Chain A
């Protein structure tokens, strides 16, 4: 019996060692056969990851990278597994590797330190500008502008419902399902709210948090609770179909995120804002092809095509929504309108003229950078990831345990 085990163990060891013998790829390929790796937190069932997966495929197709030369790894958790995947992709000969989720950051940095010849690009992270690594980069987009424009569609829908006599102007309450109380989410719902209030001045908002980026049940329950609290319109910053589905069942209009969710909400879906990652993917991959450097922080904008609104659902949206959005978009692009204009919101009852934000993340959350100048909050300028974390007046937070 024991001999049998010993033999079996020896056999397995030998087999696994034989497999070890296979050599890893060459990390510096010629420009025409560049290999690219993508790490995704979930798979295409998540609206957030689907948006990245589609962009990865599109960018590679545009750059003429054949399918055999890019690898998309899905369902990579925000832990040591992310480092293992990044290292495995580098072993496979990828010369640039992207990761899509906030919690992947530290593991990408760990891999970047080990593979100095490979470029590591992390979407939504905050540390590239303080780590000082040549091969580690962050990217985000001024999605607060997209949220603001989607907010205009929401405000116009509220106005339409008020005009139809469905509720009074004072009852125009928006519900928002957020993932965490983190700045990225705060910046998102605040810009959305400011967009809505720019057309519907009596609007208020309630925000609930799920404590997860992807939890279909919690997101559905969150939306249902908000609807039960009297919210007339829902939006969300969490990655499942939970909130849109709940809205469709309850018949409450929904402004979505990450891409159109019309498929599950044909009668309630209005519009969605999303980050188009194709411009960044193309920019970074091209940089590797041409041997040029990649910026530590890249912030995509409306002008670069990174901030997009998808599929306005004319049958649900209020009349004139498309025109109103276009007008506001032109003003944002021209710099004549700012999302976080300090004259449009108050904080603890007063207008803000100074705010120190925690731009260089540290364990003590030390405020380090003055971000208000020229009458507005300068979001995503000192690093690509959002740092607007103020709880402005008019927004009520529920369940802030996360």
Chain B
């Protein structure tokens, strides 16, 4: 007698049970990673896990850097969330952050010796918000006006931003021909965001913490947040309810872009003090995953971004400590992500085992 799988959508699942499934998936992923580690390298998997933890939280500095990285990823994830909640498939966060980076770097280089520091930082803030906002506005405007495909449009805007940055790196490179800008205003520190309480990692963490709260309130309790939710459910319903859908789309995407621009400012003037084409490092795309895994809940995003940063930093550490290739660390991260994303399937669907002897009708319940 043959058994068959029968997959059906779950009607509801308590949050506790959903998190139990997620936790189980992570545990299972760790076990699989352990087995693969032992087979391929002969290392003790427990040592490897301990090293991953060491890499993320081994010293005070490492912990601070981990939280700083979380703040960057979380900030970009918060930025993409309103648009995704609206079912607007914006995959242009990478470019929106990058263009914000370019705007801040341009101000630092061009006005570094012309404006007082406070005014310079204000100009940089406005420039990066505007640049990021523009990169969000354009695809939304074209979508609202001419119904262009927002996924392709935002994707292509990424390439434009990357090429612009590549061009300006060659304009501003030091020394000539080296293909790098180096630390901007290293000795004068003009345009550098100030350190809070002498703690160089604190500022971005604090700003993103405030941003998280603000975004939570904006999405949950504001009129705009409600409009976003309704447009996300159905554009027609929103229209019928008297919501100006085009305006909501343009406004939300401009906001998304502007927050990305702000993250660009933090990256350039708060953290790296330079600009490269890879400064965002794919976090504009990772942010999409962070946002989706957290079901667009800003508070839950703290955990999903922490998890991804933790894995990334741990992966870097094991490749160094055990002299393994970085690719091995990527394999482990890949396995863990596979399980986490896979677990969402089991949260949304359940699987029954049915006998083929049962009637057709029953199988289609």
Contact = CB atoms under 8 A, between A and B. Distances in A.
B61 A182 contact: no
A254 to B, nearest CB: 24
Nearest to B317: A73
Contacts of A105: 182
Contact of B63 (A19, A74, A92): A19
A212 B40 CA distance: 32
B242 to A, nearest CB: 32
B279 interface: yes
A149 B205 CA distance: 54
B59 A20 contact: yes
A110 B185 CA distance: 12
Contact of B15 (A1, A80, A107, A358): A1
A22 B78 CA distance: 33
B186 A110 contact: yes
A185 B175 CA distance: 13
Given A43-B325, A185-B177, A389-B176, A22 B186 contact: no
Q: For this complex, into which size category does the number of interface residues on chain B fall?
A: 35 or more
Contacts of A107: 183
B170 interface: yes
Interface stretch (A3-11, A200-208, A294-302, A346-354): A3-11
A2 B320 contact: no
A253 to B, nearest CB: 28
A84 interface: yes
A20 B176 contact: no
Nearest to A114: B200
Contact of B320 (A74, A78, A361): A74
B174 interface: yes
B303 to A, nearest CB: 7
Contacts of A303: none
Contacts of A4: 15-16, 19
A345 interface: no
B120 interface: no
Interface in A287-333: none
Nearest to A84: B65
Interface of B, helix, strand, loop or mixed by DSSP: helix
Interface in B24-67: 53, 56-63, 65-67
A252 B351 CA distance: 60
B183 A110 contact: yes
Interface stretch (B254-262, B266-274, B340-348): B266-274
B63 A186 contact: no
A389 B177 contact: yes
Contact of A183 (B175, B182, B276): B175
A144 B146 CA distance: 59
B311 to A, nearest CB: 14
B178 interface: yes
Given A1-B15, A362-B174, A365-B175, A72 B60 contact: no
A180 B61 contact: no
Nearest to B271: A80
Contacts of B278: 77
Nearest to A362: B174
A79 interface: yes
Contacts of A358: 175-176
Contacts of A91: 59, 61
A345 B313 CA distance: 51
Interface in B130-181: 170, 172, 174-180
Contacts of B178: 102-103, 180, 182
B236 interface: no
Given A9-B302, A19-B58, A22-B58, A186 B177 contact: yes
Given A2-B299, A84-B65, A88-B61, A79 B274 contact: yes
A30 interface: no
A334 interface: no
B319 interface: yes
A110 B16 CA distance: 47
A182 B179 contact: yes
A182 B177 contact: yes
Contacts of A78: 180, 276
Nearest to B53: A19
B343 to A, nearest CB: 17
B300 interface: yes
Interface string A359-376: 001110100000000000
Interface in B318-333: 319-320, 323, 325-326
A8 B279 CA distance: 31
Nearest to B276: A79
Given A43-B326, A75-B316, A105-B182, A16 B57 contact: yes
30 contacts: A2-B299, A5-B302, A8-B303, A12-B306, A15-B57, A19-B53, A19-B57, A19-B58, A20-B60, A22-B58, A22-B60, A75-B316, A75-B326, A79-B272, A84-B61, A87-B61, A103-B182, A105-B182, A180-B178, A180-B179, A182-B177, A182-B179, A183-B177, A185-B177, A211-B179, A361-B175, A362-B174, A363-B174, A402-B170, A402-B177
Interface of A: 1-2, 4-5, 8-9, 12, 15-17, 19-20, 22, 24, 43, 45, 71-75, 77-80, 84, 87-88, 91-92, 102-103, 105-107, 109-110, 126, 180-183, 185-186, 211-212, 358, 361-363, 365, 389, 401-402
